[in-house]
A and B are shown apart, each in its own frame.
Chain A
Amino acid sequence: MPRIRNPTKLGRLLILLLVPALAGAEPATPDALKLLDDSLSPEVSFRGRMMVTHWFGKQTRAEEVEVYHGPGNLYRREFLSPDGIVTRVQVSDGDIEENLLVKHHKVVSGDAVKSYEKVMKPEREMELLLANYEISVSTKPDEVAGRKAWVLELKPKIAGKPWQKLWIDQEHALILENKRYLPKKRFAVLSRYSRIEVAKQLDPKLFELSLSSRAVMGGAHGLEPDFKTLEELKKATGKDVSFPLELPAGFAFESCDDIHWGPQIILHARYTDGLAVLSLFQTDKPVRLPAGATATIEAPSTKTGSIRWAVVGKVLSWQHGKHYFTLMGDVSTEVLQEISAKLK
């Protein structure tokens, strides 16, 4: 057996052989939960062009958006028409969000998304997510907008609930593509960056409010939701509130709110299974569903309910006793019916 007299020669040889092999090798598949957690609050600044496509019923709507994002919940989104003209601008300084509706020459302001502390703690929400969905990372990475990405899948454990796939940037854990499917794997929303650049810092002026001095300030109109407990809602409205804390299909009560519409008070209970959300509204007057695309199905009370597709998912409304209930969320008709039966 030949003997290598100079050990440094062997080291050099090994390095020469291993370095190209290591450089070409894919990094080890990360832990799915850690990857998801890292993607939820990116701490880097970036800008990019995104295409957002919504499917509702047989219709689709696609919009291109120029996105600017900074740490601390700073965001600016410029929604573009097909000919590239900005139609709407959303700006958040971290706490307040302004929506400039260019066509209406109007600014509507409210609280920024994710600027609240919800009633349900994030740990509980994650617990529900794990209880209701299988989370996995594909061993085959993909590429979006020229960046390497992990593909994370959230698959419901029971039928009739949405699926989701996230393409997460390997370097900065940014969500580069987000595909949400309705039950039976029909598309609901697809958002995908066609271009994205990570920046050290973006111009702070991008996140300044008061976009247009000519614009008229509109009311918040639902942009300032409150996250109340049932007790707080009872106190605030003086109404008899009896929303259940749990619903079938793994949904748990998260928070509630009261919406004032003229003289009417709409009670809004929110439920989550960690990924999908449901809204249950209680009113003293019937809610008018727009004409068309309605079907009568069996509802829990003696009356029948109407079900229809809407942008936010399915809507089921019925009367029980002296109250009217409206349930909405992107779950299947069967799941909605099962849930509404619980509300007898």
Chain B
Amino acid sequence: MNQHNEHEENILLSALIDGELAVSEKSRVESHLALCKECREEVESLRFMKSVLAAAPRRAMPPELISDIERAAETPAWRRLPQLILAPRFFMPAGALAALALVASLWVGARREKPEDFIPLEPLMSAHARYSAETLVPQGSLVSSTYSSQLTASSDAQDQEPD
């Protein structure tokens, strides 16, 4: 048996003190407390803490904070935006994200293939198809119908290539 099953969980003990347990659960916890010294001590400790907190003086909310909240609630959201953006809790993570995006895009840009680093397949396919049209036995008779359509794409692409 593990610790959770041997002793009642702290949350149940806290709920017992606050009177929030159902009847069946309350009787089960109480019967456990009757046998378990450790849990009884824990209940005592929680009760003490509760009484200390209850005895602590309550501080009233500063009037200027109340008026700030009321003013903010009345101001439209779009007018609060510049203030929000300038708040450190917003611009610090946003700045970090932007820096990360910049580094990532620089890295991707550096890795991207430049046109001069490779040769497209189209001129090779076009040359092969053109040769296929010269075979002794015609390949499907009108094989040139293939190369001329490839040629269109190929010539358009080559038109853009620097000489």
Contact = CB atoms under 8 A, between A and B. Distances in A.
Interface string A189-202: 11100000000000
Contacts of B141: 50, 52, 175, 178, 191
B149 interface: yes
A219 B127 CA distance: 15
A289 to B, nearest CB: 6
Contacts of A88: 145, 148-149
B163 interface: yes
Contacts of B27: none
A90 B152 CA distance: 13
Contact of B126 (A67, A178, A222, A329): A222
A69 B12 CA distance: 97
Interface residues of A, number: 70
A52 B142 contact: yes
A188 B140 contact: yes
A12 interface: no
Contacts of B148: 88, 90, 99, 101, 108
A190 B142 CA distance: 10
Interface in B125-147: 125-147
B136 A125 contact: yes
Contacts of B144: 77, 90, 97, 113
Interface stretch (B79-87, B91-99, B101-109, B153-161): B153-161
A328 B124 contact: yes
A129 interface: yes
User: For chain B, what secondary structure do more than half of its interface residues adopt (helix, strand, loop), or is it mixed?
Assistant: helix
A77 B141 CA distance: 12
Interface string A78-118: 01000000001010000001010100100010000110101
A122 B136 CA distance: 7
A310 B121 contact: yes
Interface stretch (B38-46, B55-63, B112-120): B112-120
Contacts of A50: 141-142
Nearest to A154: B137
Nearest to B148: A99
Contacts of A175: 138, 141
Interface in A57-74: 63, 65, 67
Contact of A288 (B113, B132, B158, B162): B113
A311 interface: yes
Contact of A285 (B118, B135, B136, B139): B118
Contacts of B121: 287-290, 310, 315, 326
Interface residues of B, number: 44
Contact of B118 (A180, A287, A310): A287
A180 B162 CA distance: 39
A312 B125 contact: yes
Given A52-B145, A266-B123, A287-B119, A261 B140 contact: no
A257 interface: yes
A272 B132 CA distance: 10
A114 B134 contact: yes
Contacts of B14: none
B13 interface: no
Given A90-B148, A99-B148, A288-B113, A164 B137 contact: yes
B127 A40 contact: no
Given A125-B136, A126-B136, A275-B136, A261 B119 contact: yes
B146 to A, nearest CB: 6
Given A175-B141, A191-B141, A287-B121, A279 B127 contact: yes
B119 A54 contact: no
Shortest 4 CB-CB distances between A and B: which pairs?
Answer: A189-B140, A279-B128, A288-B118, A191-B141
5 contacts: A50-B141, A90-B148, A190-B140, A223-B130, A310-B121
Given A262-B162, A311-B129, 13 more contacts: A77-B144, A101-B148, A113-B134, A175-B141, A178-B138, A178-B140, A222-B130, A222-B147, A259-B127, A268-B127, A281-B127, A287-B118, A288-B121
Interface of B: 113, 116-121, 123-152, 154-156, 158, 161-163
